[in-house]
Structure 1
Amino acid sequence: MQKSFIAGRPAFARAQRRAPSLLSAGLLVSVGLTLSTLSSSGWAQAAAASDAGATLPAVKVSAAKDAPVAQADTVGAGALGTRKQVDTPFSTHVVTSDEAKDLFATTSNDLFKYDPAVSISSDNALAENSMFNVRGMPIDTLNSIKVDGQSFPSWDTDLSLEPFEQVELLKGLSGFMYGFGAPGGIVNYVMKRPTDDPYRSVTVGYKSAGVFTEAIDLGGRFGNDKRFGFRLNLVNEDGNTAEANGHVRRKVASLALDFRITPDLTWTVDALYQKRKTNGTLFGLGFGSTAGGIPDASTINRAALTQPQNYYQTEMASFGTGLDYRLSENWHANVKYRFAKENRTNSDSFLYVGDSAGNYTNTLYAAMTRYFYQNVDAMVQGKFETGSIKHDVVVGAGFESQTSEYSNSTGWNLGYALGTGNLYTTTLLTNDEVSVGSELYRQQRTTQAAVYASDTVQFTSRLSALLGVRYTQYRQNVYDPSATITSQYSASPVTPTLALMFKTDPYSTVYASYVQSLEQGGAAANTNLNYPATFGPLRSKQYEIGYKTDHSKWGANLALFHVDQDYNYTNTSNYFVQDGTKRYTGVDASGWLALTNEWRVMGGVMWLDTKAVDIDDPNIEGKRVYGAPRFTVTGRVEYNPAYLRPLTVAFGGKYVGNQAVDAANTQFVPAYVTYDLSGRYETKIAGQDVTFRAGINNLFNRRYWTTAWGSFVSLSATRTAVASATLQF
């Protein structure tokens, strides 16, 4: 369980109990844990109030000036409904929109970079998009990205953060809660909704080497009895990035409306549009067996990697609507629908390095793909008692369809040869034949129809149990360009969830849980010899024992987990196969402590043991799973001086252990450490609240490799200076 802590806002102050841990802060400091960027100028006052045994103080700011309160102490749990984090038998991490600003976050990578369970697999500073693994397992961008709990197409896409009030990470399996999805977890984006009081803010931002951002956030209510509400967000971003040939252009618009038809019945509508284009992107780098290993990332000439014809563009739109009806004090029902579409255009290169001198061949893949998603969900949630036993039940049903369209073009299937280059010298490479194929065909369609039910049974004030089950009818068809079905898969699995919870005190929970899940099967990439082979769903199961606590001056979280997942990978003959099991066993622990009214420390650690088992290929059997570090450590120190309360400064960082690049463990990327520095200052100008933020990410310009998909690597982002100013009026 991890939560946000926002300065100067009492509702956030208690909520910040971010990243609980079994480790004391003193131990974290003594072992030299790296430190973090998240700053919060109000935590000192909160700690002082706790020392006095009082409730947290109210901030002397009018309600009209305050942003809407994000419920960082709660998390959406799919078929479980909304629960307090401390009351769920799963590992969670919630980040509010205000915390995102303090982190200078532009992607989910930034939001969760100080979570020890999260390791970056790519960054959109140079790669197509930002992606991360959780406990060594990748997030499924086709099934595990949600908007308000419903599936959203995010294949190689970064959702802009401005339209969202908070982002929730559910670590581990989610079969009962959300249906099909990889065991890495679920990332749920919660839309900003209308505010009861008028809210208006304008933000301008800067990122080196010349990217400027302007954002507007407006909210409020109108009409008789303020029955109509609105929330509008507009964003424009444009400028040259720090990378060679780098330029980013981003536009975002979102609108959320609601109508309180009666005091018990509310109708909601929302729309979201985003378009982002980045020049100077790179799909990835592969190092052959004759390359002599992966070189030191600091020796690479980054300008030698991308070419003028390299770019990446995504455009997405979404529409959602729903009805929420309070049936009684203890019962409510809702029904919601969402349509979403993504257009993706890539014209970026894969570099294959064939010798120790750094010589490579550059193959540019140019294509367009489209994704269409539809979701319909209905849920009833309520409470009742049978004698002395209390029940919190959820019953629901849902239907989801996904359709993928691919280019039938040379640029997608074979790519265009740009020529040869070298990692250490700049060479201009072009090909006049490069074009993005506009003729699309339906490549895949999947449907899921599901019914589910759960009962959280409270036996005593301390002891409770969760029983949940989901039945899913899953269908998958894969087509070739002639509309012929090349593979077909159907399944009707039952995925249960069982958990036992014990409250050691009102603020703490010990739990043990068991979860089963299915995920959509993998498919061979166009770099594999058996492309476009597609495989059926993968099954996973997870056991977890954990402890969560959330007190006024300290918080802690400890999870011991074991996951078995069916394995698909690229073998040593460059065939994509599905064989055997990936086994993950580890400890995920983190915590925070207010040392004094001015100083606060927090940090976390993850230890992870991974192994491939029951594999037919002796080159893979017993090896570490690719993309999974054995050890990760995070931490941060925040200072809010008593003599200057509007100011907060923070210093933080993260250590990530080495990772295998491929399933056979023939290559590894080395461990790395990054540091960040940030500050925030709150003041008033002409009677209006203004917040200034500034920081440096990757302070010492550490160059390192990340790895993904079991076959290639990407370069990290460089040192980046960031700054912003927000006027709230």
Structure 2
Amino acid sequence: MLQHRPLAGRGFARPRAAHDLTHQHPNHPQHVPAPSPITRAIAGVFAICTASLTFVSGTTYAQQAPQASQASDGQPAAKDTAALPTTTVSSNRDEDVKVERVTSGALGTRRAVNTPFSVVGVNSEQIRNQMAQTATDAFKWDPAVTTLSENKRNENSYFAVRGMRVDMLDGTKIDGQNFVSWQADIPLEPFEQVELLKGLSGFMYGFGAPGGIVNYVLKRPTDEPLRQFSVGYEASNVWSQKLDLGGRFGPDNRFGYRLNLVNEEGNTAEPNNHVRRKTISFATDFRITPDLTWSADVAYWKRQTTGTLFGMSFGGATAVPDANKVARNLAQPFTYYETDALTAGTALDYRINDQWKANFKYRFARQNRLNGDSFLYVMNSAGDYSDTQYKWKTAYYYQAWDAMVEGKFATGPFKHNVVFGVSYQTQVKLNDNGLGGNGISLGTSNIYNPSLLPNQDIGMDYQPYRSEKISQRAIFASDTVDITSRISALVGLRYTQFNDDLYDIYGQTGTSYKAKPVTPTLALMYKTDNDSTAYASYVESLEPGGSASITDSNYPTTYGPLKSKQYEVGWKADKQSWGANLALFRVERGYGYTNVSNFYVQDGTQRFQGLDASGWVRLARDWRVMGGVLLLNTKAVNVDDPNVAGKRIFAAPRYVVTGRVEYDTPFVRGLTVAAGVKVTGQQEVDAANTLSIPAYTTIDVSAKYATRIAGKSVVLRAAINNLTDKHYWTTTYNGFVLPGSTRTFLASATMDF
């Protein structure tokens, strides 16, 4: 399911447009209605504000920002302790904002500094200040995060952590429960916080790849009335409108609500690329008693893009072409990609007493995915390529039930913090047996001078069928024992009954995989003081096996589960004016790859080891500096294929370096400017290391101006991503490359009313 499953059963990928920007897909017109007079007025005010800036950036500290008590957008803090406080601007600079607590799956909710793992979080204030559109943007300044694909000219924004891809089937959670994000972006507007657990998560979340867990924490009802409207602009002509409402009502304010609405449409800065996006989310709760709360939520989003490319590969090439020489308008304008998702959840939270609490929660999720994009196969060193469009439809249905109890007690001199619970979840995939999945040849062109190819409109011929069902039943327990006031130990176990059934197009069971693993977690922690912790941890995890893609000779072969182990020692600090995270890690993971005979195999072990370090500090009153470095050594070991044995793991950079500076200007009250740089090292493109993409550097700048108009908070923001318009490649699957994003200007105005 992991590894090559993105390609399983779909044909392959999709191309991007030629240089004729006027060619339109009939269902996705490139024309965008003119903005309203109000929108133009707001944009004009902001243009005047930002024109005077020499460089720009939002006020947040990326993942490790310092603490603050209020939010600059004037947004009240949510009641949930896992959500982040926000701030109100009342001086010439914003108070610092940081993530205080994070969700840790089967460990419950804890301060990040008190966990024996590498975990970071970004709250909604930071997301707005960074003008982040995806989780990849939100965690951009963490050196452990490497961009694998962008979401404008490619299908979705996707990233790896410490060189390991985040699993799109098991690596995404909403409020700690499984959510599908297969080749799809999750909008950030419905969420109060996004958290990233780096590395293995077997005990905390069950089956999943060692790339980590991305947990989205939903916005919940606010205790104080919230009325907020935003209008946004993205080059070259994308306009968005966003509404965020929250509050409480009824006797003793026992009923709460939170509503988020988003509309976005227009032509992006990428050639031939048009985006249309809508999001709606609603959350409510009822405080039945002071100790018992019922909550529920529902969210729906849809995203449509044209001019999209799934990937590129090279036949017989000895080097990947220079990205500076390759044209950017590679995708045909009539190619398209669409996803929509629906999720609904409910929960009961009960505080038994001051020491014990319990909760039960249920979540349903559904995702539809419609491919109409294409794949480019570069045939020679001259850059000639064949363009094949794939039309494919898939759907995923998830359900999850979880019950958990957390409590504290003492046995003699030892204090215990225990968690135990049960969970059950199912995943059903619908695949497509239609003709479009076999690929539609659009013709040939050249990557240095692409041309408009004819649209081969042969229809869809969708034939959905249930291709796979995965079920997991689990019971888990953990005990964090305070041995002394500074030393504590963690022991956790999860027992899982895992079942994976694969079906043919006639509904008959083909292959079944069953496993009953016990995945342990062991850790020792030493509190160097109240706000810092040294730790050593060991984690085991299993992930579903990989599948051969339709381009592999042994398609559709699927393999059994893969086992991973992780060893990590580290130190973390979360101080008032500085913070740091330092980790030495080693991950051993089963290896799945396509060999030189074009067969997908599971053979040997991937080994990842390195240093992951980051930190931030406030210098004087108005300056904040953050930065980090990832040094990564990867190797294929115990592999039978001599072409792969001893080689580096593909799509894993040798190093990543990040740096960001923020300045609260004393000469303009409420204005913060910043600039950031990220250097991503060389990456191998394939398992045999025959191709690689070079290191590249991107620079972002942004600005934020917070003021009050008629007694209401108004915040203006602007940013330029990829300031130097750097041309670069990214790589995801074995043998694939994708073009990086072009320079893009963004702006927004947010008003309380």
Q: TM-score, normalised by structure 2?
A: 0.88
Query: Aligned pairs, how many?
Result: 680
Once the two structures are superposed, what CA deviation does each residue of 1:573-618 show, in whole Å capped at 9, x if it has no partner?
2211111000001000011111211222110001000000000100
Which residue, out of 354, 369, 383, partners 1:344?
Answer: 369
Aligned residue in 2 for 1:70 = 84
The Cα shift of 1:63 comes to: 7.9
Which residue, out of 487, 492, 509, partners 1:485?
Answer: 509
Aligned residue in 2 for 1:297 = 323
Q: Does 1:611 align with 2:635?
A: yes
1:169-184 → structure 2 map (5 Å cutoff): 169-184=196-211
Aligned residue in 2 for 1:590 = 614
Aligned residue in 2 for 1:24 = none
Q: Does 1:647 align with 2:647?
A: no
Q: Does 1:442 align with 2:462?
A: no
SS at the partner of 1:298? coil
Q: Does 1:476 align with 2:500?
A: yes
The Cα shift of 1:570 comes to: 1.1
The Cα shift of 1:437 comes to: 3.4
Q: Residues 640 and 609 of structure 1: is their aligned pair in 2 closer, same or farther, counting only changes over 3 Å?
A: same
CA distance in 2, matches of 1:278, 1:475: 36
Aligned residue in 2 for 1:282 = 309
CA distance in 1, matches of 2:557, 2:175: 33
Which residue, out of 158, 170, 189, partners 1:162?
Answer: 189
Once the two structures are superposed, what CA deviation does each residue of 1:113-139 show, in whole Å capped at 9, x if it has no partner?
110000000001111000000000000
Q: Residues 65 and 479 of structure 1: is their aligned pair in 2 closer, same or farther, counting only changes over 3 Å?
A: closer
The Cα shift of 1:242 comes to: 1.6
Question: Bigger CA drift: 594-603 or 386-395?
Answer: 594-603
Once the two structures are superposed, what CA deviation does each residue of 1:431-487 show, in whole Å capped at 9, x if it has no partner?
435333322001110000000000000011100000000000000011111112221
Q: Residues 378 and 65 of structure 1: is their aligned pair in 2 closer, same or farther, counting only changes over 3 Å?
A: closer
Q: Does 1:507 align with 2:507?
A: no
Q: Is the 8 A contact 1:309 1:430 kept in 2?
A: no
Question: Bigger CA drift: 636-645 or 166-175?
Answer: 636-645
CA distance in 1, matches of 2:745, 2:520: 47
Unmatched 5+ residue regions in structure 2? Answer: 1-54, 86-98
Q: Is the 8 A contact 2:74 2:713 kept in 1?
A: no
The Cα shift of 1:79 comes to: 0.3
CA distance in 1, matches of 2:290, 2:422: 26
SS at the partner of 2:391? strand
SS at the partner of 1:161? coil
AA aligned opposite 2:659: G
Question: Bigger CA drift: 560-569 or 640-649?
Answer: 640-649
CA distance in 1, matches of 2:112, 2:223: 25
The Cα shift of 1:38 comes to: 4.3
Aligned residue in 1 for 2:173 = 146
1:265-414 → structure 2 map (5 Å cutoff): 265-289=292-316, 291-303=317-329, 305-412=330-437, 414=438
CA distance in 1, matches of 2:206, 2:507: 28
Q: Is the 8 A contact 1:366 1:434 kept in 2?
A: no
CA distance in 2, matches of 1:501, 1:712: 41
AA aligned opposite 1:410: L
Which residue, out of 453, 467, 489, partners 2:491?
Answer: 467
Question: Bigger CA drift: 238-247 or 576-585?
Answer: 238-247
SS at the partner of 1:195? coil
Which residue, out of 705, 712, 718, partners 1:688?
Answer: 712
CA distance in 2, matches of 1:104, 1:98: 10
Q: Is the 8 A contact 2:318 2:690 kept in 1?
A: no
Which residue, out of 139, 143, 146, partners 1:112?
Answer: 139
SS at the partner of 2:535? strand
CA distance in 2, matches of 1:192, 1:244: 35
AA aligned opposite 1:295: P
Q: Is the 8 A contact 1:363 1:417 kept in 2?
A: yes
CA distance in 1, matches of 2:230, 2:112: 31
Aligned residue in 1 for 2:254 = 227
Which residue, out of 597, 602, 622, partners 2:646?
Answer: 622
The Cα shift of 1:430 comes to: 2.8
CA distance in 2, matches of 1:308, 1:58: 47
CA distance in 2, matches of 1:711, 1:292: 12
Q: Residues 247 and 57 of structure 1: is their aligned pair in 2 closer, same or farther, counting only changes over 3 Å?
A: closer
Q: TM-score, normalised by structure 1?
A: 0.91
Once the two structures are superposed, what CA deviation does each residue of 1:264-300 show, in whole Å capped at 9, x if it has no partner?
00000000000100001100000111x3421111111
AA aligned opposite 1:70: L
Which residue, out of 25, 39, 43, partners 2:59?
Answer: 39
Question: Bigger CA drift: 479-488 or 675-684?
Answer: 479-488
Which residue, out of 264, 271, 275, partners 1:244?
Answer: 271
AA aligned opposite 2:228: S
The Cα shift of 1:686 comes to: 1.9
Which residue, out of 580, 586, 589, partners 1:565?
Answer: 589
SS at the partner of 2:421? strand
Aligned residue in 1 for 2:90 = none
The Cα shift of 1:60 comes to: 11
AA aligned opposite 2:137: D
Q: Is the 8 A contact 1:347 1:367 kept in 2?
A: yes
Unmatched 5+ residue regions in structure 1? Answer: 1-34, 48-55
SS at the partner of 1:110? helix
The Cα shift of 1:58 comes to: 6.8
Aligned residue in 2 for 1:498 = 522
SS at the partner of 1:99? helix
